[in-house]
Amino acid sequence: MRILLLTHAFNSLTQRLGAELSQRGHEISIEFDIADSVTEEAVALFRPQLIVAPYLRRAIPESVWSRNVCLIVHPGVVGDRGPSALDWAIQEGVSEWGVTVLQAEAEMDAGPIWASANFPMPLTKKSSVYRNEVTQAATAAVLQAVQRFESGDFLPQALATLADVQGRLRALMKQPQRSLDWQRDDSATVLRKIRAADGFPGVADRLFDQPCHLFDAWPETTLRGAPGEVIARRETALLRATVDGAVWIGHVKRPDGIKLPAALAFAAEAAALPQASLDGWWRSAAPTWQDIAYEEAGAVGFLHFEFYNGAMSSAQCRRLQAALAWAKQRPAQVLVLMGGGDFWSNGIHLNVIESASLSGASAADESWRNINAMNDLTLELLTTENQITVAALAGNTGAGGCFLARAADRVWAREAVMLNPHYKNMGNLYGSEYWTYSLARRLGEDAANAIMRERQPLTSRHALDIGLTDACVAGDVRAFHLEVARLAGELADPADWTATIAAKRETRARDEAAKPLAAYRAEELAQMRRNFYGFDPSYHVARHHFVRKSPASWTPRHLARHRELGWVTP
Ligand code: COA
C-alpha cells in the first residue's frame, strides 16, 4: 500500500514505523505537519491508501480525515484521551500502560480503535518510556492495524461500544500539577514528578534562587542535607537535598536558554559547591548519579556511559577516554562498551557547543575541541590491542555515535534500535570519528558513500543485513544485557580468543601500512574545519535550529518522496 506518514517531526518512532512498513513492502512517504494546506497538498500528490500519524501536536484537518482513513498513534491505553497521556501515567504510578491506534475523527482521540498494545510500566523517565516501551508497543499495534486495514474486512470498534475501558479523558498537565515542594516531597515524589516531565516540558522550579526547569533526575542514597538545599556537585550534575535523602539534577533549562548540564547552566554557583567525587570508575554499589561506570564478570569488562540524550561534550569524551584507557589495563579479555539505556551515543554535544556561542565564546572552537575529543576516544578504541572490543547498542545511535561504535571489533545492536549512520542532516556536516576508515572497510566505498548520501535511518535488522553491524539481538534492554553478557563470554573463550586477537593485530598493522589512521583523521578534519570555520554557515544554522527546536517549515526532500521532481503516483 501507499502509506503517508504525517508527523510533527522525523523522531525515532516515526523512523521505526517508516522502516518497518517499508520492510513489509509498503511504499512510504513522509510529510511534516506544518499547515493544513501543506497536508492537503501532500495527500493530493501522493494519493495514499492510508495515512498513519505517529507523532502529531495538532488535529488533522477535516478535509483530510473525512476522505482518507487516518490512523493516530496515541501513547495511552484504550479510552485514554488528552495531550499528557504519559505524564499522568507516570505521576500516578500506574503499573500498566499502553498504546492505542485509533482513527481520526472530529473529536480528538475519540475515534474508532484499530489496534492497541499494553506493557508493564517501568519506573523511569517519560522520554525513556516513549523511546522503549511506547515505540515497541506502537510498532506492534500499527503493524496490526495496517494489516487489518489491508484485509478490508476489519471493523474498528467505537469507544462507546467497549466494556471495561481502562483510560479516560485527561486535561493537559500544567506546571502547578508538576510543582515540587522541597520541604515536604520525599525523594520518590521528586523523582516521579521530574521523570513525568522529561525531556519536555521539565518541572518549573528554582535553583540558587533563580527560575529554571528541571530534567534528568537520579536518586542518591547516602548523601544528605537540609531539604531544598543544593549540597554538592559531581561532574555535570547537582545534588539537592529532600526531606528523606537527596536527588541529583542532571539537566536544567533557564528562561530563554537551552537545556544544559546543570553544573554548566549554573557554572558560577556550581563551582562554589563541594565536589562529591566517586572513587575511580567502578560501578557504585549504592544508587547514585554515575555517568561512567565499569563492572566485570569473569573475563568480560562492561563500560557503561549514561550520557543524557547520548550527547557527548569534549569533557565527557575525555573522561570516557580515560575510563577506557584504564579498562584496557584490566585483566579482562573482552571489553564491552554498553552506552546508556536510551541512547548509545549521538556524537558531539550540540547543546554544549551552542552554549559556547551564547556565552560569547566561539561555537566553532568548541565544535573543533569536541570533534577532536571524539576522535581521540575513537582512536583509543580502534587501537585496543589486548582485548576484543564490543559496542553493545541497547539504545538508538546517531551520527558520530555510530562510528564510535563501529570502531569496536564487534557491534551488536538490540533489535528495536534505530541507527542513523550519517552526518549530513546537521547542515551538511562531513563527519569524522574515522568513518572514512571504518565504514568503507566494512561495506566498500560505494555502499559507504550511499549511506552517507541517502541519510536514511536503519533498523537493527537492516544494519546487520548490509554488514554495518555484527548481530541483531531480540528482547528488551534487560534481556539484551543478559544476551550480550553471554555472547561476550563466548568471545572470551581461550580457544578462539588468541586467534581473534592475532588476526585483529595483523589486520590493524596491514591497514596502518596501507594508510595510517592519522591520514584518515587529517582528511576528515580538513573537511570539518570548513564546516566549522568556513564561509558556508550551514552547520551553525542547522545546530541552532536543532538545539532551539525550531518548527520545520518544510519536509526534507529525501523524506517526502511525493515531492521529488517527476514523482507520479502509480
Ligand atoms: N547533542 C545534543 N543533544 C542531542 C544530540 C546531540 N548530538 N542528539 C540528540 N540530542 C537531543 C535532542 O535535542 C533531544 O532533546 P530533548 O531531550 O530536549 O528533546 C533528545 O536528544 C532526543 O533527540 P530526538 O531527536 O528526539 O531523538 P530521536 O531518537 O528521535 O532522534 C537522532 C535521534 C540521532 C536522529 C537525532 O537526535 C539527531 O539527529 N541528533 C543529532 C545528531 C548529530 O548530528 N550529531 C552531531 C554530529 S556527530
3-state SS track over 292-327: EEEEEECCEEEEEECCHHHCECHHHHHHHHHHHHHH
Residue 359's pLDDT band (cuts 50, 70, 90): confident
Average pLDDT over residues 47-66: 96
Q: How confident is the prediction for the chain on average, in pLDDT?
A: 96
For the chain, the maximum distance between any two Cα atoms, rounded to a whole number of angstroms, is 72
Residue 493 CA to residue 487 CA, distance in Å, equals 10
405 within ligand 1 shell (Cβ under 6 A):
no
What is the reported pLDDT for 92?
96
| pLDDT tens digits, 75-87 | 999 999 999 999 9
Average pLDDT over residues 523-542: 98
H helical segments located in 339-407: 350-358, 363-382, 400-406
What is the reported pLDDT for 109?
82
| pLDDT tens digits, 413-439 | 999 999 999 999 999 999 999 999 999
- Sorted by where each starts, the structural domains of the chain and their CATH numbers stand as 2-162+557-563 (3.40.50.170), 180-271 (3.10.25.10), 292-527 (3.90.226.10)
165-186 in b/e form (b: 16+ CB < 10 A) is ebbeebeebeeeebebebeebe
What is the reported pLDDT for 110?
86
What is the reported pLDDT for 3?
98
What is the reported pLDDT for 362?
96
Taking CA atoms only, the protein residue closest to ligand 1 atom 25 is 11
Average pLDDT over residues 242-270: 97
pLDDT above 90 for 264: yes
Choose which residue among 309, 402, 456, 543 to substitute to test ligand 1 binding: the one with the highest number of ligand atoms within 8 A of its C-beta. Answer: 309
Ligand 1 centroid to residue 496 C-alpha, Å: 38
| CA nearest neighbour of 455 among 503, 398, 386 | 398
Taking CA atoms only, the protein residue closest to ligand 1 atom 13 is 547
The C-alpha cell at 412 is 551488536
CA distances in angstroms from 422 to 95, 454, 517, listed in the order given = 38, 9, 20
> Which region, left, alpha or beta, applies to residue 280 given φ > 0 means left and ψ of -120 to 50 means alpha?
left
First-to-final CA distance of the chain: 11
286 burial via Cβ count (<10 Å: 0-12, 13-18, 19+): exposed
347 within ligand 1 shell (Cβ under 6 A):
yes
Q: Are strands 246-253 and 259-261 parallel, antiparallel or unpaired?
A: antiparallel
CB 288 within 8 A of CB 217: no
What is the reported pLDDT for 107?
87
Residue 122's pLDDT band (cuts 50, 70, 90): very high
What is the reported pLDDT for 338?
98
CB 347 within 8 A of CB 399: yes
* Neighbour count for residue 222 (Cβ, 10 Å): 12
Atom of ligand 1 nearest to the CA of 131: 29
349 within ligand 1 shell (Cβ under 6 A):
yes
What is the reported pLDDT for 173?
98
Ligand 1 centroid to residue 203 C-alpha, Å: 21
pLDDT above 80 for 565: no
Taking CA atoms only, the protein residue closest to ligand 1 atom 8 is 346
Q: What angle do CA 260, 8, 60 make, to 5 degrees?
A: 145
Choose which residue among 346, 374, 459 to substitute to test ligand 1 binding: the one with the highest number of ligand atoms within 8 A of its C-beta. Answer: 346
11 within ligand 1 shell (Cβ under 6 A):
yes
Residue 185's pLDDT band (cuts 50, 70, 90): very high
Residue 227 CA to residue 159 CA, distance in Å, equals 46
423 within ligand 1 shell (Cβ under 6 A):
yes
Average pLDDT over residues 153-157: 96
What is the reported pLDDT for 456?
93
What is the reported pLDDT for 86?
98
401 within ligand 1 shell (Cβ under 6 A):
no
| pLDDT tens digits, 494-505 | 989 999 999 999
CB 378 within 8 A of CB 322: no
Q: Which amino acid is at 194?
A: I
CB 412 within 8 A of CB 471: yes
378 within ligand 1 shell (Cβ under 6 A):
no
Average pLDDT over residues 433-458: 94
pLDDT above 90 for 566: no
What is the reported pLDDT for 355?
97
400 within ligand 1 shell (Cβ under 6 A):
yes
346 within ligand 1 shell (Cβ under 6 A):
yes
- Please report, rounded to a whole number, the percentage of residues in the chain having pLDDT higher than 70: 100
Atom of ligand 1 nearest to the CA of 399: 48
Ligand 1 centroid to residue 451 C-alpha, Å: 19
555 within ligand 1 shell (Cβ under 6 A):
no
Average pLDDT over residues 241-254: 98
